[in-house]
Structure 1
Amino acid sequence: MSQDLPMGLRALVVDDEKPVLDELVWLLGRDERIASVRAAQSGTEALRVLEGGDVDLVFLDVAMPGLNGLEIAKLLARFTHSPRIVFVTAHDAHAVDAFELNAVDYLLKPIREERLRESVRRATADGTTSQPGNDTIAVELGGVTRFVSRSTVTYAEAQGDYVRLHTLDGTSHLIRTPLGALADEWDGAGFVRIHRSTVINLAHVREVRMVSGRCSIVVPFGASPVELQVARRHVRAVRERIQDRAT
């Protein structure tokens, strides 16, 4: 299980691509919450470091030759005190697998510094982001119950008495709850209402567009990003929330 994190985090970055590895190490070195950063270019090298037990937070590339990030995470789950995990990848196809392994976050390349800082914040948020019970929604379809991580939800939209959740991997799930109640409950988790029928996850905002006085937000949804309109009365509050999370 994950251990309580110290004030200064000891981070490990694992990526077989040297330019990506160097950039992540540099960006993490700029974060005042990170005490030290180590690097590994393979899964085998990463395990040697991790077995030393002096890593609090590991950034794992999903697709690597040999031992990949998901396989390393499964091995870490057996550790008595395992570090918290952030997956890093150029594709979002493995998002669901990642969160089933209790990852703190799932970062898409190219990495933006403000998004990386958000991952560190999640890792230090008193453990709430790595507690499955606080971040899991049960959804039912055809008599089958699945568990979806709230962190994978990019936006939610009202559909009558239901809400449809749209996730990173391009799937959608219908849950029976009013959008207003969901917006209030999830506000502290980084979700914000942009329209009477739409709530977005600020952590997954890729672009904010202003055209002819109208504002829209771009969020990922599978292979195709989605552009969502922001109601005029929500524009100021939404932009302030986005700015707050980027600083």
Structure 2
Amino acid sequence: MRIAVIDDERPARGELIWQLRELLGDVDFAEGDSGAAALGLAGEGKYDLFFLDINLGDISGTDLVHAIRAMQPEAGIIFVTAYSEYAVTAYELGVDDYVLKPYEKERIRKVLSRCMPSGAAGRGEDRGEKSHPKKIAINSDGKTVFENIEDLVFIETCRRGCLIHTREHEYYDGKGIGDFEKRLPDMPFFRCHKSYLINLEKVREVFPWGNNSFGLKMEGYEKTVIPVGREKTKTLKSLLGW
């Protein structure tokens, strides 16, 4: 397996490669410190994954995507950035995923589980197909229920666990909201508040609410107001095109 890590900051490259080695073991890494270097690597041999910093000195990572795709159509491309608002850019460009700086091992593990080639981790032949399951297990009332992920509307913290709201049912699960955030795909799920995880495809309304903040309502739960954290507003606006 070959992985290219492109970042104009050497310490950042080294940290990411170290964490990838911890998770993957013996892997062949190539490093590049510029957009030109990325194009050179893409043209010299086959790679399975490109970890591509967005803010390079010469060519933006967003401008490199199509060129790398043309030269390496089977390779996965993962944006590396310090800014969460680039999540929507990654989604629009069809990039496989993104990793935020500073790096978190669990986040990298999650990205790898989705984006590894099929021969290594069951990645589908269709580039749009992600490796996350279509159902999620919910432990409620002494039994395990399997709900379609697309039917989840929102999840909120409740006591020491969570209330999971679906199109037709509500469940209490003793696991924390962070656990569900890790198990669900970043798109279309978004942590709009420390206590709420929402399905962006189920948002019905967004409106001013409270002191210089916003609230939203979800399909089927129009009587419930979900707060939006102030630090989440900009990203939510980008993701919803609002």
TM-score (normalizing by structure 1)? 0.54
| Residue number among 163, 181, 187 corresponding to 1:195 in the alignment | 163
2:147 matched residue in structure 1: 184
CA RMSD of aligned residues (A): 3.4
Q: Which runs of 5+ in 1 are unaligned?
A: 1-8, 136-149, 151-180, 206-218, 231-247
1:31 match: secondary structure: helix
Task: State whether residues 90 and 98 of structure 2, in contact with CA within 8 Å, keep that contact through their aligned partners in structure 1.
Answer: yes
Matched, 1:36 2:4: no
Matched, 1:98 2:94: no
How many angstroms apart in 1 are the aligned matches of 2:122 and 2:85? 28
How many angstroms apart in 1 are the aligned matches of 2:78 and 2:72? 19
Matched, 1:75 2:67: yes
- Offset of residue 126 of structure 1: 3.0
Amino acid across the alignment from 2:147: D
Amino acid across the alignment from 1:60: L
Inter-CA distance 23–220: structure 2 relative to 1 (3 Å threshold): farther
- Offset of residue 94 of structure 1: 2.0
Inter-CA distance 192–117: structure 2 relative to 1 (3 Å threshold): farther
Task: State whether residues 155 and 196 of structure 2, in contact with CA within 8 Å, keep that contact through their aligned partners in structure 1.
Answer: no
Q: Which runs of 5+ in 2 are unaligned?
A: 133-144, 157-161, 167-176, 198-242
1:114-141 deviations in whole A, cap 9, x for unaligned? Answer: 2112211111253349633x56xxxxxx
Task: State whether residues 122 and 129 of structure 1, in contact with CA within 8 Å, keep that contact through their aligned partners in structure 2.
Answer: no
Number of matched pairs: 156
Task: State whether residues 10 and 36 of structure 1, in contact with CA within 8 Å, keep that contact through their aligned partners in structure 2.
Answer: yes
Q: Which has the higher contact order (CA 8 A, sep 6+)?
A: 1
How many angstroms apart in 2 are the aligned matches of 1:121 and 1:33? 15
Matched, 1:10 2:2: yes
| Residue number among 23, 29, 39 corresponding to 1:47 in the alignment | 39
1:11-42 deviations in whole A, cap 9, x for unaligned? Answer: 11111111111101111122236621111111
TM-score (normalizing by structure 2)? 0.55
State the percentage of identical aligned residues: 28
